[in-house]
Amino acid sequence: MLLREAAGAGLRVWAKGGKVRVSSLEPCYDGLLERLRVHKSEVYELLAGGRCRCCGGPIDWRRPGGVTFADGSAAHVPCYEQDEIAHFLAAADRAVNGAAEGLARCP
């Protein structure tokens, strides 16, 4: 996802006053700013909670089924739950594999 790529590149992206704002301490050379500019309406909807931050699909707030986050973004409940499960599984994998690596290094 473009926002994750931006965060990974050290960009801070937020919505304010109906616009997408971007700041960075480092110069951005890989066309990321241009892609953010081209997709600014979708980026704004993601940041403002109009689209799911997991799947990118629109969120219909007239019906239950959405989760909001402190940063103003939102997700469908099933997408959020899948994302949480993926995070737990990744943490469990790191714990098991990290423990296995630690045992392999033991004399």
Phi first, then psi, for residue 48 (nearest 5°) are -95, 5
Q: By rule CB under 5 A, what string of x and - marks binding of each residue 3-32 to Zn ion?
A: ------------------------------
Q: Which stretch binds Zn ion (CB under 5 A): 11-19, 34-42, 68-76, 92-100?
A: 68-76
Choice between 5 and 60, CB closer to Zn ion: 60
Number of residues lying near Zn ion (CB under 5 A): 6
The token duo for 15 is 């919505």
34/82 Cα distance (integer angstroms): 31
Q: Which residues contact 68 (CB under 8 A, 6 or more apart)?
A: 49, 74
Query: Does 76 engage in binding with Zn ion (CB under 5 A)?
Result: yes
Out of 55, 61, 90, 107, which residue is the one contacting Zn ion (CB under 5 A)? 55
Residue 60: exposure state from Cβ atoms within 10 A (0-12, 13-18, ≥19): exposed
Choice between 4 and 105, CB closer to Zn ion: 4
Query: Does 54 engage in binding with Zn ion (CB under 5 A)?
Result: yes
